[in-house]
A and B are shown apart, each in its own frame.
Chain A
């Protein structure tokens, strides 16, 4: 038995590694994909583009503008004079928001009345809009705090001792503040969240595609018929065919992890061996799925399509970009069928949270069960005949 598995392994390696082009295709696209994904997939708003409309035109309003410019989060890209220009700026998507300082801003501040600033947001991308809204409120509050230090307000992570407007019968007010501590990703960089997820998806894509192709190709060029008349057992063929791809997948995992650490400086807090082990568990499911697809396909073309139809929903529903928590209940149940879902949780847990088996065992167990089931299923479906 091992003799024959060895023979298939040797053959697969010779075939895959013979051509420089193929060697390149196995390891370069994952890295390229990681880099493209890593740079494109981000939900952070680092430099929100804003337009400024100053209807007050006082030193105070200009000070607020300077505050925005100095915050590092905003680029002031336009100055608007009237409502029509505001309309046009938002229509053309020239700015994410228009900040409009209303007349009497300085006067109200001086008299201790509430001064008004209007933030007009382009809500088209609701995510960007929420963030821009929160950031600009932050800048404005900080500015307000400086203008009236007596009434400083707490923001974000710092706890500020806050007092009431020291009046009314000398009675102190009782403001309650929120003290926020962010774990695992204190700067809230979305890249830290996405890059490990990309690695998971790349592994799925590569191994699924390769396995689905591998068996169908032999069937298409006719070599499968010749293999079937040898005393080889189905399990030998399956092991011999999938082990090289498992190796390719794990090598890619290591490569991509290295690149994530070096290029994107994503923190890695967990155990690398644990990650590799979970990668191997995950590989069982993706290789199993690939084999299963190859048993239902007759041509490489069909195998490709089947792999695509498996991979795309697996990717979309894995929680990679769109949190599973947000999905309708029925779709959430559906995601339990998605092996990528489990590995996504594992890889993020290991990278960012540094958690171990004690936390990740349910995901690991799910992958193991899933893998055994789908491998058995495809081994059963793989007959040594052409019927």
Chain B
């Protein structure tokens, strides 16, 4: 590999990048824009669950229970009505839970026979429903305990107290794990895009034939091109990370150097991938589609960004081993939330390095074959 020729390619690519200032501005603004929009918009936290109450009892006891729900930050009472109204509201997705307090509720409570509150739940969105039901049952239990206490009864202590302690993300805010994942997915799309267009463009404009007729070796071409876009990618990463930490105040507990190293390895891999895709496509349109298909979908679905990989079928889990975003997401989440170091994360780094190396070799050999052909 000649240093001189690689540098020539690097300089030429940098000139292309700097000349097209609109694309450059777009490439730099994109990650911040996407992260801001999605970081604010996307959340799996379950709060303000819309509910409707059907109070058949209409006593102090039942009204007290309703007040408990009103007081909880997890619930928002959208109205009162009968079964029909609850049914309609659930059909129209206006509410998630209908709370029915049966007639004779206060009497049964007072008599000590034990009373039941009915929760009618829209199970369509199973995840939200499961969590919402948990909260609702919690409210009912708390109310039950309060009632006992007021009646001078001994608390019905559960025989076993399961005390949950949450590490790393103690408030269980989904933003804290969505934002680091988003950063990885956004960088995957962007970095892949940056390079996937570059070789296809040369084919399209016909400059590729000219370049291939020089003594330039594919290795030099791939490396030079990658380096130029790598600089843009680094800037993007910095923008994304700074926005993530400063705007969304996601805690960062890890080592900055380790973060930089992982980011570089990840960018290498994805950018070589972009070049590899590009080498196979003869038009920019084709390269773009292939690039999106092979970065966005795996990045979104198989990186563990939102959907946990270990709950997927084995086949998909194996496929996900070839998705660099998977390792990057793992590392980012670990660095942001867990603050662990190299002794834990080294396998991720090794995988990223291996991925980058393999894709580099594939890209070079693909270009070599085209040079001969």
Q: 1/0 per position for A164-188, CB-CB distance to B under 8 A?
A: 1101100111111111111111111
- Residue in A167, A185, A192 whose Cβ sees the most chain B Cβ within 10 Å: A185
| Among A239-247, A297-305, A378-386, the stretch in contact with B | A297-305
A177 to B113, CA, bound (A): 11
| Among A2-10, A16-24, A42-50, A254-262, the stretch in contact with B | A42-50
| Among B126-134, B259-267, B272-280, B358-366, the stretch in contact with A | B126-134
A136 interface residue (CB < 8 Å to B) = yes
A144 to B156, CA, bound (A): 13
Q: 1/0 per position for A105-133, CB-CB distance to B under 8 A?
A: 00001000011111111111111111101
How close is B188's CB to chain A, nearest CB, in angstroms?
A: 13
Known: A121-B164, A175-B114, A352-B124. A40 touches B316 (CB 8 A): yes
Q: Which residues in window 316-339 of A have CB below 8 A to B?
A: 316-317, 321-323, 325-328, 331
Q: Which residues in window 186-242 of B have CB below 8 A to A?
A: 197
Residues in chain A near residue B161, CB distance under 8 A: 114-117
B160 interface residue (CB < 8 Å to A) = yes
Residues in chain A near residue B111, CB distance under 8 A: 172, 174
A178 to B337, CA, bound (A): 35
B42 interface residue (CB < 8 Å to A) = yes
Residues in chain B near residue A215, CB distance under 8 A: none
Q: Give how many A-B residue pairs fall within 8 Å (CB-CB).
A: 321
Q: Which residues in window 128-181 of A have CB below 8 A to B?
A: 128-131, 133-134, 136-137, 140-141, 143-145, 147-148, 151, 153, 156, 159, 161-165, 167-168, 171-181
Known: A171-B112, A188-B130, A331-B40. A300 touches B285 (CB 8 A): yes
- Chain B, interface size: which category? 35 or more
| Among B8-16, B89-97, B349-357, the stretch in contact with A | B89-97
Assess the A115–B173 pair: CB atoms within 8 A. Answer: no
Contact of B330 among A93, A185, A186 (CB under 8 A): A93
A28 interface residue (CB < 8 Å to B) = no
How close is B29's CB to chain A, nearest CB, in angstroms?
A: 12
Residues in chain A near residue B131, CB distance under 8 A: 127, 130-131, 134
A326 to B49, CA, bound (A): 9
Known: A190-B126, A359-B91. A141 touches B119 (CB 8 A): no
Look across to chain B and name the residue whose beta carbon is closest to the beta carbon of A43.
B127
Residues in chain A near residue B158, CB distance under 8 A: 114, 141, 144, 151, 153
Assess the B162–A140 pair: CB atoms within 8 A. Answer: yes
Contact of A123 among B121, B166, B307 (CB under 8 A): B166
What are 16 A-B pairs with beta-carbon distances under 8 A? A47-B311, A115-B159, A120-B165, A120-B167, A123-B166, A123-B172, A124-B337, A126-B173, A126-B177, A171-B112, A180-B118, A188-B129, A326-B46, A348-B124, A349-B91, A349-B93
B interface residues with partner A (beta carbon < 8 Å): 37-38, 40-48, 50, 65, 88, 90-93, 108-131, 133-134, 136-137, 140-141, 143-144, 147-148, 151, 153-154, 156-170, 172-174, 176-177, 197, 283-285, 288-289, 292, 296-297, 301-302, 306-308, 310-313, 315-316, 330, 333-334, 337-338, 340, 344
Considering the complex of A and B, which 6 residue pairs feature the smallest CB-CB distances, nearest first? A172-B112, A123-B169, A185-B123, A144-B159, A188-B126, A300-B285
